[in-house]
Structure 1
Amino acid sequence: MRQPIEIIKPNSFEADNHWYPKALNATIHPMVNFFMNLDVERMVNRYCHLNPSVKREKLKEILNYKTKYYHWCGADLINVTTKNGTRKMVVIENNSCPSGQKSMPLQFDNQEEGGYKSLIENAFVPFMKCKRGVPKVEGKLAVFYDKNPMEASGYAHAIANRFNEEVFYIPFYNDERHDKIRYVNDQFYVFHKKAWHPIRGVFRYLTKKPWNRLPIRSKTRIFNPIIACLSGGRNKTTAAKAYDMYNADLNKTGLKINTPETIWDVNKEEIPLWVKRFGGQAVIKVPYMNAGQGVFPILSEEQLETFMAKEFTYDRFIVQSLIGNFNWGTSKEANKLFHVGTIPNARGNAYVTDIRFMTSTTANGIRPIAIYARRAKKPLKNEIPSEKESWEVLGTNLSIKLGENQWTSDTSRLLLPDRRDFNKLGLGLDDLIEAYIQTTLSMIAIDKMCSNLISPKGVLKKRLFKSLNDDSKLINEIFE
Structure 2
Amino acid sequence: MFTSFPTTPQTSPSIVNSFVDDNVVASWPKANGNDLVKSPILQQNQKNLELFKRHYDNKSDSDTDSEKSSSGSTSPLPLDSTSHASDKNTNINNNDTTDTTKIASSVSPLKKHATIVNKGEFESERHFYPRVLNATIHPLVASFLQLGNERIIARYTHLNPQVKVQKLVECLSYQPKHFRWAGSDLFNVTTSSGQRQMIIVETNSCPSGQKSMPLLSETEEFGGYRVVLESAFQEVLEKADPSLGDLAVICDKNYMEASGYAAVLAEISKEKIWYAEYHINDDDPPVKWIDRVLHVRDVNGEWRSIRACFRYVTQKPWSRIPLNTRTFVMNQIISCLAGGRNKMLAARAYEFFNAELLDSGLAVRMPETINNVTKSEIPLWLHSMGSHAVIKVPYSNAGQGVYTITNPQELQYFLDQDHHYDKFLVQSLVGNASWSSMTRAGRFYHVGTIPNRRNHTYVTDLRMMVTANKNGFRPVCLYSRRARKPLLGNLQDDLSITSWEMLGTNLTIKKPDGEWSSEPERLLLMDRKDFNQLGLGVDDLIDAYVQTCLSVIAIDKMCARLMPEEGSFNFDLFRALNPDEALLNEILV
Q: Following the alignment from structure 1 to structure 2, what is the Cα–Cα distance between the partners of residues 86 and 141?
A: 48
- 8 Å CA contact 2:349–2:555 kept in 1: the answer is yes
Match 1:294 to one of 401, 405, 415: 401
Q: CA deviation at 1:136?
A: 5.8
Query: What are the within-5 Å matches in structure 2 for residues 442-461 of structure 1?
Result: 442-461=551-570
Match 1:97 to one of 197, 201, 206: 206
Q: CA deviation at 1:137?
A: 4.3
- 8 Å CA contact 2:276–2:296 kept in 1: the answer is no
Match 2:263 to one of 131, 152, 157: 157
**Could you say which residue in structure 1 is the equivalent of 2:423?**
316
1:431 aligns with 2:540: yes
Q: Following the alignment from structure 1 to structure 2, what is the Cα–Cα distance between the partners of residues 329 and 462?
A: 37
Larger displacement relative to structure 2 (294-303 or 179-188)? 179-188
Larger displacement relative to structure 2 (361-370 or 85-94)? 361-370
Task: State the TM-score, normalized to the length of structure 2.
Answer: 0.79
**Could you say which residue in structure 1 is the equivalent of 2:239?**
130
Q: CA deviation at 1:147?
A: 0.4
Deviations 1:339-380 (A, max 9, x none): 000000011001000000000112320110010000000000
**Could you say which residue in structure 2 is the equivalent of 1:416?**
525
- 8 Å CA contact 2:368–2:439 kept in 1: the answer is no
**Cα distance change on mapping 1:311 and 1:54 into 2, 3 Å:** same
- 8 Å CA contact 2:429–2:437 kept in 1: the answer is no
Q: Following the alignment from structure 1 to structure 2, what is the Cα–Cα distance between the partners of residues 71 and 331?
A: 35
Match 1:142 to one of 248, 263, 273: 248
Deviations 1:407-445 (A, max 9, x none): 121011000000010010000000000000000000000
SS, match of residue 168 in structure 1: strand
SS, match of residue 289 in structure 1: coil
SS, match of residue 445 in structure 1: helix
Equivalent pairs counted in the alignment come to 477
> Which 4+ stretches in 1 moved above 2 angstroms?
1-5, 135-138, 175-182, 193-196, 328-334, 385-388, 402-405
**Cα distance change on mapping 1:338 and 1:181 into 2, 3 Å:** same
**Cα distance change on mapping 1:100 and 1:330 into 2, 3 Å:** closer
Q: Following the alignment from structure 1 to structure 2, what is the Cα–Cα distance between the partners of residues 407 and 304?
A: 26
Deviations 1:13-51 (A, max 9, x none): 000000111111200000000000002111111111110
Q: CA deviation at 1:323?
A: 0.1
Match 1:78 to one of 187, 194, 207: 187
**Could you say which residue in structure 2 is the equivalent of 1:262?**
369
1:401 aligns with 2:510: yes
Q: Following the alignment from structure 1 to structure 2, what is the Cα–Cα distance between the partners of residues 157 and 472?
A: 40
- 8 Å CA contact 1:187–1:218 kept in 2: the answer is yes
1:379 aligns with 2:486: yes
Q: CA deviation at 1:154?
A: 0.2
Structure 1 counterpart of 2:557, which letter? Answer: K
- 8 Å CA contact 2:278–2:285 kept in 1: the answer is no
Structure 1 counterpart of 2:523, which letter? Answer: L
Q: CA deviation at 1:143?
A: 0.8
Q: State the Cα RMSD in Å.
A: 1.6
Deviations 1:54-98 (A, max 9, x none): 000110111111100001001000000011111100000011000
Q: Following the alignment from structure 1 to structure 2, what is the Cα–Cα distance between the partners of residues 265 and 331?
A: 20
**Cα distance change on mapping 1:271 and 1:137 into 2, 3 Å:** farther
**Could you say which residue in structure 1 is the equivalent of 2:280?**
174
Q: Following the alignment from structure 1 to structure 2, what is the Cα–Cα distance between the partners of residues 355 and 236?
A: 18
Larger displacement relative to structure 2 (2-11 or 196-205)? 2-11
Structure 2 counterpart of 1:89, which letter? Answer: M
Max radius of gyration: which structure? 2
**Could you say which residue in structure 2 is the equivalent of 1:57?**
166
Q: CA deviation at 1:312?
A: 0.3
Structure 2 runs not aligned, ≥5 long: 1-20, 25-41, 43-111
- 8 Å CA contact 1:173–1:405 kept in 2: the answer is no
Q: CA deviation at 1:306?
A: 2.0
1:467 aligns with 2:573: no
Structure 2 counterpart of 1:259, which letter? Answer: M
SS, match of residue 511 in structure 2: strand
Task: State the TM-score, normalized to the length of structure 1.
Answer: 0.96
**Cα distance change on mapping 1:333 and 1:216 into 2, 3 Å:** closer
Structure 2 counterpart of 1:86, which letter? Answer: Q
Match 2:327 to one of 212, 220, 245: 220
Larger displacement relative to structure 2 (163-172 or 302-311)? 302-311
